[in-house]
Amino acid sequence: MKIDKFHIRSRFKNLENVSINFAEASLMTVIVGLNGSGKSNVLEALVSIFRNLDLGESPPFSYALTYQLGDAHSDRWDEIEIDADPSRLGLSKQYQITIKKLKLYGAKKELNAVENPKDPLPFSKVKRDPKSGVAPYLPKYLFAYYSGPSDRLESYFRKHRTDFYNKLLKNEVDLKGDIRPLFYAKPFHSQFVLLAFFLSAQEDNEKKFLRDELGIENLDSVHFVMRRPSWAKKKGELFWGAHGVVRKFLDELFPYALAPIKVTRGEDTTLTGSQIKNEFFHLFLPDVTSLRNFAKNLSPDELFKMLESTLLSEMISEVSVRVKITSTDESLTFRELSEGEQQLLTVLGLLKFTGGKDSLFLLDEPDTHLNPSWAVKYLSFLERFVPNHETSHLLMVTHHPLAIAELDRSQVQVMKRTLREIPSPLADDNSSVMQRSQITASMPNESPRGMGINLILRSDMFGLKTTLDNKTNEKIIERNKLASKESLQGSELKKLDVLNEELDKLGFNFISDDPDYTDFLNKKYHQKNDEAK
């Protein structure tokens, strides 16, 4: 799945008449820009589009979207063009969809010839078939993650999550099948990821990453707290009448749990701390061997799906994972790891378990809690865990300049908001105008690769005038103004000497707020001092 072109015609949030040309040949595209420039809204717009396509609902706004499925090395390489407009009458007319077959042309992969397009594809062939679950003209997986407190993205995934939950209750979920096509990552997924990573005893990419980057040497223990769900009808039954995938999980876990205990206690049900009595079952796995024995017939992704299915069935109250780390002999609970470590595990694990052919990953500020040393390596982390680069596309929004330091300009989109004047609708002539903001998206003027952090920050990608703190920058500006004068009074000379002494200690004696001005200051001010001596 590679997104090529996206044109938002009618208004969506603060986006209207915005065109974005993505680098479909690359695994990833990173979107940067000032707050309020619509970066996150681009991802939200794409989520809303594919949600409605998948469910067979009207387009959320008017747009044109072009994307590719498959690649030149597979049996299929299609380009799908969708022209959608909710103002047209009838669902079949709201979507105009064409499919083109792509093929290589010459030696260069980026050049391709397009055969004559087929007849327009009926919308009924695009939306997901409710019986077979097949949607051959949509991304196989759409995975989204947002690090903020808002549920702006999560709300689009509730219908798919509810449908999956209903299948769980009807015992219609196959663990060996695919994960649901639209998946939204939550913080609690990080512990499931960690358990799945330690399922294999072999040294692999996942455990090497945990040790080298997070300092996690091994799994120490796991404490599951199960709760009686609201749908339970059998009070005396061991697992309250659970069945299907959830029952399979609990039946296989129970024999390996050390001294399982069922208790009745209060459970918080509101933000004010009101409690009701409920039953809880404590199941403790004392070491990594017991985890592997319990899940010996499961693959890591099946264990992950089993854990998430049990959570969705309202039966998991808490999972407490303890890990052994390289820096101390004491084990730590997963929650004692930093926010950045937990966040990183959530994203990387879900990339691995939801990845595959024709996947679209939408990450909204996933590097929020990362330190600079991780931020600069973050995209390489993502590349390491995406299973299929050729047919996957990862779109990421960030405010971190280090995250884009190794990218080519074609992999970056800069969102900007500008004011433009339009005739006022209340005026009889064109003499009265009003201002209206316009969002634009384009590649940066230069590639961030090789620029360095200071130049990236001062480029059109971030637009800072200086990378210095305000007080130091004000001193430099004041010093330069004094140094550029033809003659100075006594108090001005003293002030200049003080500023030079202070700035010299910081290494800024001949640094200007304008780099082109440095040579002028050297010639003008430095020569003056030499002559005075």
Helix 244-253 × helix 158-169 angle, to 10°: 70
Report CA dihedral (149, 152, 153, 156) to the nearest 10 degrees.
140
> Which pLDDT does position 326 carry in this prediction?
87
Of 147-161, 388-402, 478-492, which range is least confident?
478-492
Average pLDDT over residues 172-180: 73
Measured between alpha carbons, how far is 454 from 30 in angstroms, rounded to an integer? 19
pLDDT of 513 strictly over 80: no
DSSP letter at 291 equals H
**Six token digits for residue 448:** 């961030």
Residue ranges of the alpha helices (H) in 125-169? 158-169
Is 483 within 8 Å of 442 (Cβ atoms)? no
Of 201-210, 353-362, 445-454, which range is least confident?
353-362
Q: Is 316 helix (H, G, I), strand (E, B) or coil?
A: strand
Q: Name residues whose C-beta falls within 8 Å of residue 312's C-beta, 6 or more positions apart in sequence.
A: 161, 164, 165, 168
Average pLDDT over residues 504-531: 56
Q: Residues 93-143: pLDDT tens digits?
A: 999 999 998 877 654 444 454 555 556 889 999 999 888 888 999 999 899
Q: What is the mean pLDDT of the chain?
A: 85
Task: Using alpha carbons, list the distances in angstroms from residue 328 to 323, 331, 371.
Answer: 11, 8, 21
Name the pLDDT band for 533 (thresholds 50, 70, 90): very low
Cβ–Cβ contacts within 10 Å for residue 55, how many? Answer: 14
Which residues, listed in sequence order, are joined to residue 18 by a DSSP beta bridge? 8
Q: How far apart are the first and last CA of the chain?
A: 70
DSSP letter at 15 equals B
> Which pLDDT does position 110 carry in this prediction?
46
- Give percent of the chain above pLDDT 70: 86
**Six token digits for residue 490:** 């006594």
Measured between alpha carbons, how far is 15 from 12 in angstroms, rounded to an integer? 5
Q: Residues 308-330: pLDDT tens digits?
A: 888 888 899 999 999 999 888 88
Contacts by residues 510-516 (CB-CB < 8 Å, ≥ 24 positions apart): 511/476, 512/476, 512/480, 513/465, 513/466, 513/468, 513/473, 513/476, 513/477, 513/480
Q: Residues 448-483: pLDDT tens digits?
A: 998 888 888 888 898 877 777 888 878 877 877 787
pLDDT of 155 strictly over 50: yes
Conformational region of residue 236, where left means phi above 0, alpha means psi within -120 to 50, and beta covers everything else: alpha
Average pLDDT over residues 192-207: 89
Closest CA to 392 of 354, 342, 343: 354
Sign of CA dihedral 413, 417, 420, 423: positive
Look up the pTM and report it: 0.84
Closest CA to 45 of 12, 73, 2: 12
